Amino acid sequence: MKKKQILGLALFAVLFILFTGSIGSADPRMRFQDINWAFPSSSDYAPSILWDGSQWVMYQCGWNADGEGKDKIYRWVSSNGIDWTRNPLKAILAPTAGSWDSLFVCDPSVLYGVNIQGYPWALWYTGTSDPSGCSNDIGLALSADGIDWVKYGKVVDCPIVPNYYGCGEQSVVKVGSTYYMHHTEILGSGTNQWGARVRTSTNGINWSSGTFYIPPGITPGTDFGVDFMYSSGIWYSVMHTGFTKLGIYSSTTIQGTKTLLGELSISEARKSLSDPIYQYLLEPAFWRDGLGHQLSESPDIWVAYGIGNGFPGPWDIEAAKFAIMDAEQNTVDPWFGARACEAPGVSIIGPYYAWHSNGPKGDDINYWDFKADGDGVDEACTIALRGFLNPDFSSGTKLEITWYGWVTGGTTGNPKVEVWLQNGPYYYFLGHLSGLGNTKYKTTFEMGSVPRSYVQAINFRIKESYFTNLYQSGATMRTHLFKVRLAN
């Protein structure tokens, strides 16, 4: 969505309530994630991010990067989703003089691994020839390598209503042989004129007329910019509301009833209290695979978004991550709890704590360390088991714990990680995690005799005495993910 149009929409939006306080998200599952990305000569927003099999690729809208005063689309690459390099330096898609998209091209939604007229890369974009940024339509560009693009032409021809946005902010996902497109549609100020439309296609070019609907929390005059991602029968959506908050939702159909999973307010979208609170937060996008799906190996959902202070900027792109396995314990997969020891409200018991983070593909950026420090206090962390409330343990029920951990910098040996079920100050000892080396481990515990009252949290503990021989050699036991579930 064009910046000038955004300021017009802002006249209708609710008043912004900007507050100060702790940077920790009010929702412990969603938090700001800093990325090394900067294009300070421009105003940048509306990213589309995918994994192409060897690297992360970002396409994003940049205004006036070359001094022409137009929106163009740029390409960035990253090996870890954190550190980004613009490649190539020039725009990969620009307005075409004398055409329907002669002034602005923006809002890319990119897929890879398709076959549209023989091309594996497809980019759907918003375009217009209206200087105000209104009367938008949706076009398609195709590429053999993701760098050099050929415009196919307009694929969604929106009715022209002067001074209204039209159609754009599209998100495209392919499931099986069907392409799904969700896009903003604003053709007036009435309730049935300000919302979104879902279309389908078998070839990515010819689209159905689709169904108009109003996403959750949207009223005429507020912007929402929805992106979608598919995962095993679940549709995830992320949108901004009122320009000041991100929300992640799940539903069983692309336009079905959406369940709010987590939120990030604009005051939380910064690294520290010393950073400014921006005025606008908008047009978020998921880190996805080539077809718009959640990567199966990722324990988190990552979201990128544009953030800035009005037009002409500058605007930058930032990110947030969301703990998917906590949110969807019983819907997406059978995991009842899955996090490292990091979230507010999840207690850390022990003298040593290092911040944990996973990359958007499940690769490690930082780690959580158990490290004996000679003070005689055991190292431990506790994970709340939200889905374990009052379970019915039948005969043969097992608690299955999968974890990733290894010892570095010292002699090898088993530090004997103890597993305790916890309810407040009360603990029930289950046993020890098996195996420790340089890979993933799985340990199961019989649960038939476990009192139901001891299932509010799980505590992992390493006794200082167990770890002494490793500590004296400078060793650390390092982990980055725990998964816990019931198994029969």
Please write the tens of the pLDDT for every residue from 179-230. Answer: 999 999 999 988 788 899 999 999 999 999 999 998 877 766 677 789 999 9
Q: What is the DSSP string of 3-35?
A: HHHHHHHHTTSPPP----S-SS-SSTTEEEE--
Phi, psi (degrees; rounded to nearest 5) at 266: -65, -25
Q: How confident is the model at residue 365 (pLDDT cuts 50, 70, 90)?
A: very low
User: What are the structure tokens assigned to 4, written together?
Assistant: 């000038």
Q: How confident is the model at residue 39 (pLDDT cuts 50, 70, 90)?
A: confident
**CATH class belonging to 337-487:** mainly beta
Q: How far is CA 427 from CA 333, 417, 422, 431, 456, in A?
A: 27, 15, 5, 12, 10
**How many residues comprise the chain?**
488
What's the rounded Cα separation, in Å, for the pair 427 and 425?
7
Helix spans in 150-231 (H): none
Pair 281, 48: CB distance under 8 Å:
no
The H-or-E segment that residue 465 falls in is: helix 464-471
User: What are the structure tokens assigned to 344, written together?
Assistant: 């507010």
Q: Which of 127-141, 197-211, 461-475 has the lowest mean pLDDT?
A: 461-475
Q: How confident is the model at residue 359 (pLDDT cuts 50, 70, 90)?
A: low
pLDDT in tens, 67-76: 778 899 999 9
Instruction: Tell me whether strands 280-288 and 43-51 are parallel, antiparallel or unpaired.
Output: parallel
User: What are the structure tokens assigned to 82, written together?
Assistant: 């954190």
Phi, psi (degrees; rounded to nearest 5) at 14: -65, 160
The closest of 257, 258, 235, 218 to 180, measured between CA atoms, is: 235
The closest of 167, 172, 161, 90 to 127, measured between CA atoms, is: 167
Ranges of beta strands (E only) in 202-353 are 211-213, 227-231, 234-241, 245-251, 259-265, 280-288, 301-308, 315-322, 337-338
Instruction: Tell me whether strands 85-86 and 71-78 are parallel, antiparallel or unpaired.
Output: antiparallel
3-327 CATH fold: Tachylectin-2; Chain A (2.115.10)
The mean pLDDT of 261-275, rounded to a whole number, is 75
224 or 117, higher pLDDT: 117
Q: Do domains 3-327 and 337-487 have the same CATH topology?
A: no
The closest of 463, 479, 456, 484 to 345, measured between CA atoms, is: 456
What's the rounded Cα separation, in Å, for the pair 185 and 290?
25
pLDDT in tens, 292-345: 998 865 657 889 998 888 766 678 898 887 765 443 332 222 233 333 343 323
pLDDT for 234 beyond 80: yes
The H-or-E segment that residue 486 falls in is: strand 476-487
How do the domains of the chain map onto residue ranges?
A: 3-327, 337-487
Report the chain's C-alpha Rg in angstroms.
Answer: 24
Q: How confident is the model at residue 472 (pLDDT cuts 50, 70, 90)?
A: very low
With H, G, I as helix, E, B as strand and everything else as coil, classify residue 50: strand
pLDDT in tens, 367-418: 455 555 555 666 666 665 544 444 555 556 777 776 655 555 554 455 567 7
| Termini Cα distance of the chain | 50
Q: What is the pLDDT of residue 143?
A: 98
Q: Is the pTM of this model over 0.85?
A: no
Tokens 């955004």 belong to 6
